[in-house]
Structures are given as structure tokens and as C-alpha cells.
């Protein structure tokens, strides 16, 4: 036995058949229950609900999105609407209108200065050449910008098309007036024409005609005095004015693409109603539900298979640890089905508490999940079962917490909650594993609060989630989680102790309180036995711990092992103060009956006070089936004196047993004999103590008293060494050391 192992075995109820606790069939049933617990507790969070509906039918209930679902068709329509709202994009491009009018006037000046060309030829040249300069100017501009890549090809083509389409036609009579112009006139005209063209093309022009209509007014307001000059400048200015604002198809398309990209997708968030109760299932709705795998006839079984594998892996981890630690094997396994059932119940309670907290979470308050008492399970496992099993369970609770408390759409696990659960669970394990008082649970709860708050704070800082109120709420809820865990553990511990007959360290410490009614009775009615029991407790605790047994159980068991002596206290030598020994005047067989009855009486008294079975077992088994040799030999002597043949054997003077079934019962039995034997010695030496301990152990070993417990010879040697050291320490002033004995001999 050990404190976190079989010492916690007890009666889980008298109505169940005794063999169920070690039945392999029951064990496998419990393993299957673990798988079902893991599967069905996680299924609502990872497997969406499916619906048996048909297109055109009326929905009998609200169909809600189990996770975020994107409506592709509605999203495409929204994108097209956004793109449709984009107006055509235009680019402003100056085509160099001023340079065109200057080139024309410069050409007129050159040609007019040439006397070799007749007036008729000049008119013909102007008629043929000037209109073509418009197209040449546009083509030259396009070619130049195509090389530099300043504008897109589509925009350049649009420029050429629009500008050429809006070319102005110079009246025929204008060409006849051009040969008359002198260089002075042309110089004056060049300045005026350039200014007019610059002014009118400085504004955005999609239609050149708009600006051309203003040319006459500006020319009339100019400094030109000659009518011919004004007419020619007016026509050339109109000819040189081109549109400078062009439709940019590429920019328009890019803006539409950008608008589509910026359009948020149409989604149903987790919990949103897709189809309302009483609503007709349209073709679009049916397709959406089908694409989201929410229809039974379209159901995919991969998530179920994945969850089943995860559940099996979880129970394999538990089974592997239990098997590796020897908890499920051997004649007396450390973990019976009672412990497995209790472990399942702890997992169930811990998962249920996380599920309850998960219901309080919302999209705006996901931090409510930190209130979950996630360390509840590991605390209970540490206190009632085993520390290492609690550590293994912590990782399983972490996985479950990251799924159950997950608020991230389209994510299977939420790292924040998984990290929080593992931190608080491990903090609970290492804070509570040496608990000896109920107040230790509260202290452990405070440690869980501190570590939980620190873990939440660390994650929020790392992810830069620093909004003031959510940050404060998250840390505060994590702190409250530890306190809530401590309260629940304190409340649940009595339930497990009573239901499963658990003898936890906390329960043992409570039972060792001298104010317990039985211990008060022992102290007041049999002070000698009380002192003997306390001494046996000191000896047995150290001896048990030396072989890895439960020292605390041995100490407390020793306090109660002779409680049956309170029924007839005067018949036991340690309580016979200033009185005659009653056994001197009664029959040895009666003396034997009185002595052996104290074990049976003790068990009955312990049962009446609901003392756990492991302590009752120590009271019943600490003498085993040993012989009361003193009374046996006294009976033989009386028979010899009476001259009659004894009608009894030595077996008639034995305790009824049973023999020690555990290491703890065996150790208490040895310590009981050793303490009584040492007390009977007046001036014991170290050699006498060591020989006496070896004699007691050998006598019991030869009497087959340890055949039914798993004590080894090596462990018996350790017990003997521990008892020797403890006896020397307790009775130090009475025991003579070898050197002291030799000194006395020389003195004598």
C-alpha cells in the first residue's frame, strides 16, 4: 500500500458483488466509458449537427451555423454590387497643345519667307500639311510615352482614339489668308495663340469643343488689332486644342477588382441562424447547407473518425501509465475498478464544469472561459489517487480545455485556453501533493490563482491583446478560477471519501486528532495503551517509509490498533497500575479469549465510528494468527500439575487472524511486538535490542505470518534496521551502548 495507491482502496458500497473491483470485464467497460466520455464531451465542439431536410420543404426549427460559414453566392453578388458602384476612372494627360500651335506658326513663317514658292503653292501646302500635323503630333506623343512606359497601353490607345476623333477642321478660307502674314505679325500671333491654348487646356477636357467655343472671346480680348490675325489665331487655336481627360479602362478595372477584394464576405458566424423556423428551404439555402456538410445525406464521417481516434489515444495514454506503473497488474493491483470508476467520475466532473463555463462565453466576452476550475480534476486525482497520474491527466485536461473553451471560429484548438489549463493543473499538482490539512487546499488554490493569472497575462502580452477591460477581466477571471477550484475540491473531498471509502492523507490527519472520540476514550480509560499506541505509531511510520509503504497510514493505524482494549482495560499489562494482574487468578483459556477478543472488539468499535477499512484492517490483522505462548504454556503446566492429558493444542491459543494482508498491517504488527518487548527490558543494550528485533521478525517469518502480504526479505531487513534506529532514539537514556557496558564491567 501507499498513500496515493492501494491505501485508498475501500468499500465503494456493500450492495455490489465483491469481485467487481478486480474483474477484467468491468475494467474494460470502464475504459469504454472513458472513450465515450471523451467523445461525447468534445463532439458538440468539433462535429457539426446535421439536418434531415429537403429542398422546398419548410424548416421545422432554426438551423444555426455550428461554425463560421461563408455564403459564396451572396458574397459574389455583394462583390458585383460593389464593383458596379465603381464609376469610370479618367486620367488627365496633356498632349502638348502649345507646341503644336507654335510648330504651325513657325512653319507658316518659314514658308512665307520663301519667295520661290508662289502664293497658290503656299495655300496648297498649308491645305495639305497643317491638318496632318495634328495626327503626327498625337502619334509622336503616343510613341514617346510608349517607350517610357509612363502610361498604360490601353490608356495610350484611348488617347489616340479620342483625340483623333475630335480633330478640328480649319475652314478653307483660312488657308488663303495665311500667305499674307508677315514675320512681325506671326511673332505677335504666336504669343497670343500660345497663351490662349495654354489657358483653355489647363482645365480638364473630355470634349475639346467645350474649350474651342471660348477661343473667339479670348482672341477678341487679345492685343491683336488686325482682323486677319485674329481670324487665323482663332482657327489655329481651335485646331490645336485637344481633349486632356481620357477614360482609363485599366484603372477602372483595377478599382473594380479592389472593390471586390475590399468587400467583406457574407458569412454566418457561429450561432447565427441560417434558416429560420417555418422558412422554406430555397435552392440557394439547400446548396449552402449541403456545401457546409450540414445535411444528413451529405454527411462526412471523417470528423467522427478523427474524434474517435483522439478519444482512443487519450485512454491509451491513461491505460499505458497505469499498466507501466504496475497499477493494473499482479495479484493485488494498485488500481482496482473502484479507483478507475473514481478516476472516470473525476474526469466527468472536471469536463462538466468546463462545459458549464463554456456556455457563459460569448463573442464579446470569450475571457469568461478563464473562470473554469480547470485544476479541479488534477487536485482531486493528486489527493485521492496518484501524483504522476495527475500529471498525465493534466495534459489530457489541457487538450479538452482548448477544445471546449475554444472561441476561435474555424479553429479546432485554442492555444490560450490550452496553455492556461496545463499551467493551472501542474501548479495544482505540485502545490497539493503533500497536503496534510484542509487549509492546504486553499493555499494550493491561491497558488493556482497566481499561476493562472500569470499565464493569461503572458499570453495576452505576447499576442498584444491589450484592450484595457478585456485584459483586466481575463486576469481577474483566471485568479477567481483558482479560488473556485479550492472551494469545489474542499466540497467534493468528503463525497469521494465517503462514497469510495477513500483514506486520503487529509482524512488520516483528521483521524489522528487526539480529540477524536475513540482516541479520547483510549487516553482517558487506558492511558497505558494510549502511550503504547503512540510509541508504536512512531516506530511503524519510520519503518514503513523505509520500504516505500504508507507511513502516515501506519502511524494513524497504530493509534487505533488496540482500541478494543478499552472494553477490558485491566486485563492488559500496560494498564495494570497498582493492581493485581487478573490473569493470575483465571483460567488460561479465559485469559486467551479476553486477549484475542481485543482485535475483534476493536474492529466493531471502529465500524461503529465509521473508521475507514484500511485502519480497521490494521486493527484486525496486526496480530495475524500468532500464538499466545505464555498462556499456552501456563495451561500445559496446569494440566501437568493436575495430572491430566491436555485437551487442547497450541492452535487453540492463536489469534483468529486474518494474517497481514498489506505491508502496513505487517509493519504495525512488528512494531507492536518490538515496543512491548523493549518496554519489558530494564537496561537494554544495543545488542539486545538488535537481537530482540531479529528474533521477533524471524519468529513471525517462521510462523508464516507474512505469506499473504507482499513483504520481501530485503524489505524485512530494512524494517529491522529502521526499528533499531527508532528504538535507540526513543529509549536512548535506557539503552546501554557497547562502550558504556565495557566501562561498567571494568569498573565492577
pLDDT of residue 8: 39
d(C-alpha 582, C-alpha 434), whole Å: 47
Q: Is the pLDDT of residue 733 over 80?
A: no
Q: How far is CA 40 from CA 18, 29, 54, 358, in A?
A: 31, 16, 28, 15
pLDDT of residue 350: 95
Among the listed ranges 267-271, 608-612, 718-722, which one has the minimum average pLDDT value?
A: 267-271
Tell me whether strands 90-92 and 245-247 are parallel, antiparallel or unpaired.
Answer: antiparallel
pLDDT confidence of 409, banded at 50, 70, 90? Answer: low
Between the ranges 52-56, 91-95, 363-367, where is the mean pLDDT highest? Answer: 91-95
End of a domain among 446, 473, 507? 507
Q: Is the pLDDT of residue 482 over 90?
A: yes
Average pLDDT, the chain: 85
Q: Find the CATH number of the domain harbouring 743.
A: 1.10.3210
- Considering the domain architecture, whether residues 490 and 627 belong to the same structural domain is answered as no
- Pull the grid cell for residue 123: 495655300
- Residue linked to cell 482494549: 565
pLDDT confidence of 17, banded at 50, 70, 90? Answer: very low
pLDDT in tens, 21-47: 778 888 899 999 999 999 999 988 887
In a domain, residue 522? The reply is: yes
d(C-alpha 578, C-alpha 575), whole Å: 10
DSSP state of 408: -
In a domain, residue 80? The reply is: no
- Considering the domain architecture, whether residues 526 and 670 belong to the same structural domain is answered as yes
Q: Is the pLDDT of residue 588 over 70?
A: yes
- Considering the domain architecture, whether residues 313 and 426 belong to the same structural domain is answered as yes
- Considering the domain architecture, whether residues 177 and 228 belong to the same structural domain is answered as yes
- Considering the domain architecture, whether residues 362 and 477 belong to the same structural domain is answered as yes
pLDDT confidence of 147, banded at 50, 70, 90? Answer: confident
Q: What is the mean pLDDT of residues 630-648?
A: 84
Q: Is the pLDDT of residue 121 over 50?
A: yes
CB 618 within 8 A of CB 605: no
Q: Is the pLDDT of residue 150 over 60?
A: yes
Q: What is the mean pLDDT of residues 633-642?
A: 85
In a domain, residue 254? The reply is: no
Angle at 251 between CA 250 and CA 255, to 5 degrees: 120
> Does pTM surpass 0.85?
no
Q: What is the mean pLDDT of residues 660-684?
A: 88
- Considering the domain architecture, whether residues 410 and 529 belong to the same structural domain is answered as no
pLDDT of residue 638: 85
- Considering the domain architecture, whether residues 425 and 547 belong to the same structural domain is answered as no
pLDDT of residue 698: 92
Q: Is the pLDDT of residue 717 over 90?
A: yes
- Considering the domain architecture, whether residues 448 and 535 belong to the same structural domain is answered as no
In a domain, residue 118? The reply is: yes
- Considering the domain architecture, whether residues 40 and 168 belong to the same structural domain is answered as no
d(C-alpha 541, C-alpha 555), whole Å: 5
The CB density around residue 400, as the number of other CB atoms within 10 Å, is: 27
- Considering the domain architecture, whether residues 222 and 274 belong to the same structural domain is answered as no
> Which residue range is the domain that position 305 belongs to?
6-45+300-507
Q: Is the pLDDT of residue 55 over 60?
A: yes
Number of domains in the chain: 4
pLDDT confidence of 731, banded at 50, 70, 90? Answer: low
CB 218 within 8 A of CB 196: yes
pLDDT of residue 86: 86
In a domain, residue 84? The reply is: no
Q: Is the pLDDT of residue 676 over 50?
A: yes
Between 17 and 206, residue with greater pLDDT: 206
Q: Is the pLDDT of residue 736 over 60?
A: no
In a domain, residue 602? The reply is: yes
Between 330 and 547, residue with greater pLDDT: 547
In a domain, residue 259? The reply is: no
In a domain, residue 257? The reply is: no
Q: Is the pLDDT of residue 292 over 80?
A: no
Among the listed ranges 62-71, 514-523, 616-625, 667-676, which one has the minimum average pLDDT value?
A: 62-71
pLDDT of residue 434: 65
- Considering the domain architecture, whether residues 309 and 277 belong to the same structural domain is answered as no
Q: What is the mean pLDDT of residues 297-323?
A: 84
pLDDT of residue 300: 61
Q: How far is CA 43 from CA 46, 311, 377, in A?
A: 5, 10, 20
pLDDT of residue 742: 41
- Considering the domain architecture, whether residues 717 and 687 belong to the same structural domain is answered as yes
Amino acid at each position: 500500500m501507499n498513500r496515493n495507491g492501494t491505501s485508498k482502496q475501500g468499500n465503494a458500497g456493500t450492495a455490489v458483488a465483491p469481485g467487481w473491483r478486480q474483474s477484467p470485464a468491468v475494467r474494460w467497460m470502464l475504459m469504454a466509458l472513458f472513450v465515450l466520455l471523451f467523445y461525447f464531451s468534445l463532439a458538440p465542439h468539433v462535429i457539426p449537427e446535421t439536418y434531415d431536410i429537403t429542398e422546398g420543404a419548410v424548416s421545422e426549427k432554426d438551423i444555426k451555423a455550428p461554425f463560421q460559414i461563408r455564403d459564396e453566392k451572396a458574397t459574389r453578388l455583394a462583390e458585383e454590387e460593389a464593383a458596379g458602384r465603381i464609376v469610370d476612372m479618367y486620367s488627365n494627360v496633356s498632349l502638348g497643345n502649345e507646341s503644336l500651335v507654335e510648330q504651325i506658326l513657325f512653319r507658316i513663317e518659314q514658308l512665307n519667307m520663301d519667295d520661290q514658292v508662289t502664293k497658290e503653292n503656299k495655300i496648297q501646302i498649308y491645305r495639305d500639311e497643317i491638318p496632318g500635323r495634328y495626327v503626327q503630333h498625337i502619334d509622336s506623343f503616343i510613341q514617346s510615352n510608349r517607350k517610357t512606359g509612363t502610361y498604360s497601353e490601353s490608356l495610350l490607345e484611348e488617347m489616340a482614339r479620342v483625340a483623333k476623333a475630335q480633330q478640328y477642321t480649319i475652314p478653307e478660307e483660312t488657308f488663303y489668308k495665311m500667305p499674307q502674314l508677315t514675320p512681325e505679325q506671326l511673332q505677335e500671333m504666336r504669343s497670343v495663340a500660345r497663351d490662349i491654348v495654354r489657358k483653355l487646356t489647363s482645365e480638364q477636357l473630355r470634349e475639346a469643343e467645350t474649350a474651342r467655343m471660348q477661343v473667339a472671346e479670348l482672341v477678341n480680348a487679345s492685343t491683336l488689332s488686325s482682323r486677319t490675325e485674329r481670324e487665323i489665331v482663332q482657327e489655329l487655336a481651335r485646331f490645336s486644342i485637344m481633349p486632356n481627360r481620357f477614360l482609363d479602362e485599366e484603372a477602372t478595372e483595377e478599382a473594380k477588382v479592389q472593390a471586390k477584394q475590399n468587400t467583406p464576405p457574407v458569412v454566418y458566424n457561429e450561432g447565427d441562424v441560417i434558416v429560420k423556423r417555418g422558412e422554406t428551404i430555397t435552392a440557394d439555402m439547400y446548396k449552402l447547407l449541403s456545401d457546409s456538410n450540414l445535411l444528413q445525406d451529405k454527411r462526412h464521417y471523417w470528423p467522427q473518425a478523427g474524434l474517435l481516434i483522439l478519444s482512443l489515444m487519450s485512454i491509451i495514454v491513461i491505460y499505458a501509465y497505469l499498466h507501466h506503473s504496475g497499477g493494473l497488474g499482479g495479484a493485488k493491483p494498485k488500481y482496482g475498478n473502484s479507483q478507475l470508476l473514481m478516476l472516470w467520475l473525476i474526469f466527468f466532473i472536471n469536463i462538466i464544469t468546463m462545459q458549464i463555463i463554456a456556455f457563459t462565453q460569448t463573442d464579446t466576452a470569450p475571457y469568461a472561459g478563464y473562470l473554469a476550475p480547470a485544476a479541479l480534476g488534477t487536485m482531486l486525482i493528486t489527493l485521492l489517487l496518484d501524483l504522476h497520474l495527475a500529471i498525465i491527466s493534466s495534459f489530457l485536461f489541457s487538450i479538452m480545455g482548448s477544445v471546449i473553451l475554444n472561441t476561435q471560429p474555424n479553429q479546432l484548438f485554442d492555444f490560450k485556453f490550452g496553455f492556461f489549463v496545463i499551467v493551472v493543473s501542474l501548479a495544482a499538482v505540485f502545490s497539493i501533493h503533500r497536503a496534510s490539512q484542509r487549509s492546504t487546499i486553499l493555499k494550493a488554490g491561491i497558488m493556482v490563482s497566481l499561476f493562472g493569472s500569470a499565464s493569461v497575462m503572458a499570453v495576452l502580452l505576447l499576442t498584444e491583446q491589450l484592450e484595457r477591460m478585456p485584459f483586466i477581466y481575463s486576469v481577474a477571471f483566471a485568479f477567481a478560477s483558482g479560488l473556485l477550484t479550492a472551494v469545489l475540491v474542499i466540497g467534493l473531498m468528503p463525497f469521494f471519501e465517503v462514497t469510495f471509502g477513500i483514506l486520503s492523507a487529509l482524512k488520516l490527519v483528521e483521524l489522528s486528532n487526539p480529540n477524536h472520540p475513540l482516541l479520547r476514550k483510549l487516553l482517558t480509560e487506558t492511558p497505558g495503551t494510549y502511550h503504547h499506541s503512540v510509541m508504536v505509531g512512531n516506530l511503524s511510520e519510520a519503518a514503513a517509509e523505509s520500504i516505500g509503504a504508507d507511513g502516515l497510514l501506519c502511524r494513524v493505524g497504530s493509534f487505533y490498533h488496540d482500541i478494543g482494549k478499552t472494553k477490558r482495560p485491566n486485563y492488559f499489562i500496560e494498564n495494570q497500575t497498582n493492581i493485581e494482574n487478573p490473569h493470575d487468578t483465571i483460567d488460561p483459556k479465559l485469559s486467551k479469549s479476553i486477549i484475542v477478543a481485543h482485535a475483534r472488539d476493536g474492529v466493531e468499535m471502529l465500524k461503529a465510528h465509521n473508521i475507514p477499512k484500511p485502519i480497521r484492517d490494521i486493527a484486525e490483522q496486526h496480530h495475524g494468527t500468532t500464538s499466545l505462548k505464555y498462556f499456552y504454556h501456563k495451561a500445559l503446566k496446569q494440566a501437568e500439575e493436575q495430572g491430566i492429558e491436555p485437551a487442547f493444542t497450541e492452535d487453540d491459543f492463536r489469534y483468529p487472524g486474518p494474517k497481514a494482508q498489506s505491508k502496513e498491517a505487517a509493519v504495525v504488527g512488528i512494531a507492536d511486538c518490538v515496543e512491548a518487548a523493549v518496554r519489558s527490558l530494564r537496561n537494554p543494550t544495543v545488542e539486545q535490542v538488535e537481537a530482540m528485533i531479529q528474533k521477533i521478525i524471524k519468529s513471525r517469518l517462521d510462523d508464516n505470518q507474512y505469506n499473504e502480504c507482499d513483504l520481501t526479505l530485503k524489505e524485512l531487513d530494512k524494517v529491522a534496521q529502521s526499528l533499531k534506529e527508532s528504538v535507540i532514539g526513543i529509549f536512548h537514556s535506557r539503552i546501554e551502548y557497547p562502550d558504556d557496558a565495557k566501562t561498567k564491567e571494568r569498573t565492577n
